[in-house]
Amino acid sequence: MPRYGDAESVMWFDVEPFCMFHLINCFEEGDEVVVQGLRSADSVIPGPRLNKQEILPERSELKKDGKAMKQGINEKLFSRLFEWRLNLKTKTVSGEYLTGTECSLEFPMINNHYTGVRHSYGYAQIVDSLTRSASSSEKVLPKYGGFAKLCLEERENTETSAEDLIKMEIHRLSEDEFCSGASFVPRVGGSHEDDGWIISFVHNERTNTSQVHIIDTQKFEGAPVAKITLPQRVPYGFHGTFVHNNIHGHVNTRSEKKLDNLKFIY
């Protein structure tokens, strides 16, 4: 629908059925509207087509070293970055996968200054499906063992793949660590789109401690620039966002440390 359109100006585009929980971004490019999101064949929420046994792994088995074995991700639920192009002139739609099958991705984010316009980078949590305990039959939803940086303007150009996939950088968490609630926080006065940090809650299931990890997105595969141990457990799924304190137009002229002029909203 055009920005100032009405019900009569709505255009519909038919696409192959799929499931998508989260968009990354949408923007206009010439006669096309570009839609980017994380696409899977089916939903992780149990329903008529899938039951819990198909979605969730059975009880974990332990290796000889006492560590839990990782469970594979159901192919129906594997989520990859997909791009649709809706041509407003020809009323046709085309699309392609931008990421491969090495990582299943969810909970994407971008530099919010680029919402609605063409952008070069995105970030997402990497699915790492694991049962809660080897001594319990309780089943859990997939958990997230790291982060991916999506370099949308760079292609892998691998000879082994027929798909034209984008470059990805990976930040892996340590064994038994899982993340949730990640946000991208742009550096105030930063000169590049990816100048900022990923800030996320991280829980270590072996030590039962929660931390905040701060990752420099321009040194994405390196160690976090800071880890802040929290006095309480942060449950999986807790999330929020960061907003600058001059969001209403007020410019703070006080000398402040990095990140001090950002507020966490939940």
Locus of tokens 């149990």: 46
State the Cα–Cα distance between residues 58 and 224, nearest whole angstrom. Answer: 33
Dist. CA 116–CA 35, nearest whole Å: 10
**Where is the binding site for Fe cation, in residues?**
22, 239
Given its phi and psi angles, is residue 208 left (phi above 0), alpha (psi -120 to 50 degrees) or beta? left
Which CA distances in Å does 76 have to 42, 80, 95, 98, 145? 5, 11, 19, 18, 20
- Give backbone dihedrals phi and psi of 116, rounded to 5 degrees, phi first: 85, 0
What is the per-residue burial (b if ≥16 Cβ within 10 Å, else e) of 198-215?
A: bbbbbbbeeeeebbbbbb
The pair of structure tokens assigned to 165 is 């996939």
Residues forming the annotated binding site?
22, 239
